[in-house]
Amino acid sequence: MGSLLSQLGLECGRKEVKEEERHLRANDREFNLSYEYADNAIKTSKYNIFTFLPLNLFEQFQRLANAYFLFLLCLQLIPEISSLSWFTTVVPLVLVLSMTMAKDGSDDINRHRCDRQVNNRKVEADLLLLSSSEPLNLIYIETAELDGCVSVAFIIFLTVVQSLNFSCPCVGEVRCEPPNNRLDKFTGTLTLKGEMYSLDNERVLLRGCTLRNTQWCFGLVVFGGPDTKLMQNCGKTTLKRTSIDRLMNVLVLSIFGFLAVMCLILAVGNGIWEYQEGSKFAAFLPKQEGVNAPFSAFLTFWSYVIILNTVVPISLYVSVEIIRLGNSFYIDWDRKMYYPKSDTPAEARTTTLNEELGQIKYIFSDKTGTLTQNIMTFNKCSINGKSYGEAWQKVDFSWNNLADPKFCFHDHSLVEVVREGNPEVQAFFRLLALCHTVMPEEKKEGELYYQAQSPDEGALVTAARNFGFVFRSRTPESITVVEMGELVTYELLAVLDFNNVRKRMSVIVRSPEGKLTLYCKGADTIIFERLNPSCSKLKEVTTEHLNEYAGDGLRTLALAYKDIDPKYMEEWKLRHHEASTAMDEREEKLDALYEEIEKGLLLLGSTAVEDKLQDGVPQTIEQLSKADIKIWVLTGDKQETAENIGYSCNMLREEMTEVFIVSANTAEEVRKELQSGLFCLLKTETVADEPVDGEYAMVINGHSLVRTRTLKDMEMELLRTACMCQTVICCRVTPLQKAQVVELVKKYKQAITLAIGDGANDVSMIKAAHIGVGISGQEGMQAVLSSDFSFAQFRYLQRLLLVHGRWSYLRMCKFLRYFFYKNFTFTFVHFWYGFFCGFSAQTVYDEWFITLYNLVYTALPVLALSLFDQDVNDRWSFQYPKLYAPGQLNQYFSKRAFVYTVLHSGYSSLVLFFIPWAAMYDTVRDDGKDIVDYQSFALLAQTCLLIAVSIQLGLDTHYWTSVNQFFLWGSLCVYFAVIFTMYSNGMFLIFTSSFPFIGTARNSLNQPNVWLTMLLTSILCVLPVVAYRFLRILLWPTVNDKVRYKVRQDKVLPPAPRRVQARRASTRRSGYAFSHAQGYGDLVTSGRFLRWTPKSRPALFSQTDSPLAQTQPQFYRTINEGGEPPLSP
């Protein structure tokens, strides 16, 4: 029975038992099966052939609109209530359900195919690696499916298991953590022959990895099927909804209430009418027995619920999804956001947030790799109190046969000191050659390449290589370095890995002479706290050099070392082994041991690595600032470095009124600094965006941010001060603090936020913001995989927001306003007609017109408007960034705009009902025959309605294309073709009951007064709109009106943007940046020799394919400084 339910996909009643610890034995099947762990089959599909129809319908009817129309269909099956045929509701409902069902079915078929492909693989689980075909206890893997990184990595296995016979039963017992979604963490122990060994993430081959350059491997399955870390990460992500989505939900509920009020009014009218029957008038036909006035009113209420159901648009959600999908394609297809160097196009990874891009108020940006290129170059260094790299003469490294020919340094005195054998200088470069996670690769004899997880480490190891300390190879137990031509092998005893809290890494090595040394590199503040007191003078000089380097925008790092007593080392290693095999609080115990041994360090010096800004960053930030978008930079750099980068990319400017610095260490000091800044800005009790005189910026460090989170009132003070500044720079912040800053603004501000970054440390920030943008750079693809939109360069952000975002918002707002207008106008005519038909729940229009109005006659024209319309082209959007402001203020669609739309619809419905009613009252044809029948009036009313809403659509269209013209005129032609066909004699003879309007179109549309009525209603519907728009543009023109007037005046594209030279701040500023990423310390014990050569991809687009690239190649890098439009047309 259970298997049958499993095959049918009905396992909802299965009770999950929480697993606390997992026990496994190699080659002991009975022991492993006793725990009933999940098998290796996975299932990501939602349906099968039996459950598709019921489950999909169940999901769709969870939508309020679909459930509402199902309820209406049930009401229409009651003859006493319904005055409409069943198909008026069935046809739209079935069409909407079928379109959604087709999409869901197609997606699920693809999921079934993926499941079959994955489940048919021979090995696809989380494995504890035991052996492989490769030497040095490792295998080569590619983790692109896990983290998007296409570089080759490796997994190492314990040396102790290398010589085991795996055909013997019960090789060993594994105890490990329960299944979880932490890709970067694995905690467990292997018990073998009475000895316990530590297991971590460097020993486990995760599902989703691809073997490279490895013929075979053996492993013990730790997690299978749904328990694997990859599948644990495939859970439902947080659904992001736009502000328009939230507003639409409120409006739809309001519409339901409004519908109930209209139905109640008409029901009360029917009750009064029925009550007066017999006294005020007499009915021609006798009343049914048992039907009194209250009961008739009750039935009438539900009858009008059916008739007026069009006020709730069933096709609204489907149309919105189509519009969003189309606007997403525009982003994917935009060649102006394509980066040819890396063959990376822009990508809309979600289709539900396009219009939100046109409402961004706050941008939270990472610095390294986002604003900068993340291509590091060793530029300067300080060794034993002396600074090197200030000269202009390029160093000749021809004396070093193993030097990297691409490396460049400008101070020959450093080479001389190295070659003279200065011990401090040699110790400096020896540290760079030993303390890292880089792996070497020698493709050809003498051609040495480094594979680094961090660009900073690659730059530092390359510098050591060129100055005579060449890192050549490593095994899990040793590191080999060529020191000034002499091959030296160091025994690797321990690696003290980097993480965001430690902000440093260390290695402990034994030299061939038996000397034990700890080498450490990290943040200057972290290293300086652990220095021996004898280094105080050297520390002062090095601090000065660090500040000078940061003044040039360089990323700095402090280096130190320490000699270790052998006896202490033996005792420390025992405690280290005990901590590394602990199942509980392993990381905390290891951190305590690391803290103990990394004390009393001796300072060697510091390094300075250059990371240049990306092309177009200053211009992009300037454009976004002109669009009134506030930019916050959240970086792990030191305060001085963050300030310098701020000046370099025009976020901070010398002409600013003031730049507030918040860098206190206590909560009370932070409060005083915030209050001082707030006093300079404006005293206020709210969190709104108050206008301030002048331009202000704020720089705050991570320590101060921690203090502000201790008290809620301090959070509010921080937010008040920061939100009145044009630019905010948060320095020395952790990934968690980045997300907390974003959440703080989201919590207290009614504004849309965007976060942009390129690394794994930006993922939390990207997920926290309303919109997440990932940049595919040098730090893998983790940020891209977590983002909503992605591209290769920061400069493309301005096009994403100022062009695609603004257009998407404008189109969606126009669509919603017009959609509600045409539906309310359609419905209100029924409402007015109720007062003239005795509240008898009769319809004004033909039933087929009611059915086809939203599906055929008005569907395609409004979709064309929503997909192609634009107020001005992209060049003018860049020329006048202030065009972006209406989206930030929700000016195009809000509750007020909705009320105006309803009032406009009410006026139009009055014209569209009473003008045809008056025109048809006691009217005769040219031949003297009567024309005042119901069918003729219905035809005239529905024709006037369709023409009026079509004209309104034309007034709302700013950008006409052939598609717009075809859909608009084609819909009108289809309407007339349909009515002449359905009202013909032939259709009446075939379907007598379904087409009762025989000859109505032929007899009515040949009368001049009918056409004059259509003309009059059209003029009266359009005249107030035209008059209002004329007066508004004349008396209260918006920025959009001014720009469009200027466009019409010029009749040509604006001049090509001129190149703006990025200005360097004249004042000197200092800074610091740390270069590592967490989790790579165990790489140094791997012994990895890369042999895999990545295949190059063909270019997706040619640079010569783009007309813009041919005519204006500088467009990507520069944006013209657009002035304000003229104050009045």
Cite the active site residues. Answer: 366
Residues linked to residue 465 through DSSP beta bridges, in sequence order? none
Q: How many CB atoms lie within 10 A of CB 928?
A: 6
Helices 934-956 and 895-920: crossing angle in degrees, nearest 10, is 140
Q: Residue 242, annotated ligand binder?
A: no
930 is an annotated ligand-binding site residue: no
Query: Is the backbone of residue 628 left (phi > 0), alpha (psi -120 to 50) or beta?
Result: left
Sequence-separated (6 or more) residues with CB below 8 Å from residue 728: 630, 631, 632, 633, 697, 698, 699, 700, 722
Q: Are strands 771-775 and 789-791 parallel, antiparallel or unpaired?
A: parallel
Find out whether 457 is annotated in a ligand binding site: yes
Give the pair of three-digit tokens for residue 911. 């014209």
Rounded CA separation 842/828 (Å):
13
Which helix or strand (DSSP H or E) is residue 68 part of? helix 64-76
Question: Would you give the DSSP letter of residue 370?
Answer: T
Burial class of residue 1028, CB neighbours in 10 A (0-12, 13-18, 19+): exposed
Say if residue 635 carries a ligand binding annotation.
yes
Determine the Cα–Cα distance for residues 531 and 528; give it in Å rounded to an integer. 5
**336 assigned ligand-binding residue:** no
User: Which two structure tokens, joined as six digits, stand for 850?
Assistant: 């009611």
Query: In this structure, what token pair is assigned to residue 106?
Result: 């197609």
State the Cα torsion 868-869-870-875 to the nearest 10°: 20
Measured in residues, the chain has a length of 1129
Residue 814 counted as an annotated binding residue: no
CB contact set of 89 (below 8 Å; sequence gap of 6+): 69, 72, 73, 76, 306, 309
CA distances 673 to 569, 654, 665, Å, are 47, 21, 11
**Contacts of range 157-163, beta carbons closer than 8 Å, 24 or more positions apart:** 157/128, 157/129, 157/130, 157/131, 157/132, 157/203, 158/190, 158/197, 158/203, 159/476, 160/192, 160/195, 160/197, 161/130, 161/131, 161/190, 161/192, 162/131, 162/137
Separation in Å, CA 1064 to CA 373, 410, 652, 838, 1068: 17, 21, 11, 80, 10
Would you say 636 is a known binding-site residue? yes
Strands (E) in 400-553, as ranges, are 439-444, 447-451, 469-475, 478-483, 486-496, 504-510, 516-522
Q: Whole-angstrom Cα distance, residue 764 to residue 157?
A: 31
> 866 CB contacts (<8 Å, ≥6 apart)?
319, 323, 326, 811, 812, 814, 815
- Give the integer Cα–Cα distance in Å for 16 and 781: 33
**Quick check: 379 and 394 in contact, CB under 8 A?**
no
Tell whether residue 762 is among the known ligand binding residues.
Answer: yes
**Phi, psi (degrees; rounded to nearest 5) at 235:** -70, 175
> Tokens 């409902």 map to which residue?
93
Amino acid code (one letter) for 693 = D
Q: Are 392 and 408 in contact (CB under 8 A)?
A: no
Cα(44)–Cα(108) distance, integer angstroms: 9
Q: Is 758 annotated as a binding residue?
A: yes
- The answer to whether 367 is annotated as binding is yes
The CA distance from 426 to 883, in Å, is 59
DSSP code of residue 355: G
Angle at 846 between CA 842 and CA 848, to 5 degrees: 125
Tokens in use for 196?
Answer: 């316990």
Query: Is 521 a known ligand-binding residue?
Result: yes
- List residues forming the annotated binding site for Mg(2+): 366, 368, 758, 762
- List residues forming the annotated binding site: 366-368, 457, 498, 521, 555, 635-637, 732, 738, 758, 761-762
- List residues forming the annotated binding site for ATP: 366-368, 457, 498, 521, 555, 635-637, 732, 738, 761-762
